[in-house]
Structure 1
Amino acid sequence: MLENFTIGTFSVGDVFKVFYGEGQHVEITLVQVSASKFKIPNLKREPFF
């Protein structure tokens, strides 16, 4: 599934819920997404962080 995500999949301001424990979660907000200058062998998409 992760191999389908690209830099265009996300937008600054997107909110994500990260679940931990029994029914507990924390919300995080994306503040920046950047293309990576590093290439990863055998990766079928452009890396980003």
Structure 2
Amino acid sequence: MTVRYDEPSLVERAGNTLVRWLAEAGISLAGTRALRVRGRKTGKL
């Protein structure tokens, strides 16, 4: 089975960035939440 991935457009990326920024600021849109995990990017604690 082939999995299709459509890269987000510039408008979609800008919208996602805005929603992420609002969620991190504590403003929820449609139940959005910001999840932060220590060491998630590096794998180190």
Q: Which structure features the higher share of strand residues?
A: 1
Higher relative contact order (Cα pairs below 8 Å, separated by 6+ residues): 1
- Would the TM-score normalized by the shorter structure come out above 0.5? no
The normalised TM-score by structure 2 is: 0.22
Structure with greater Cα Rg:
2
The normalised TM-score by structure 1 is: 0.21
Q: Which structure features the higher share of helix residues?
A: 2
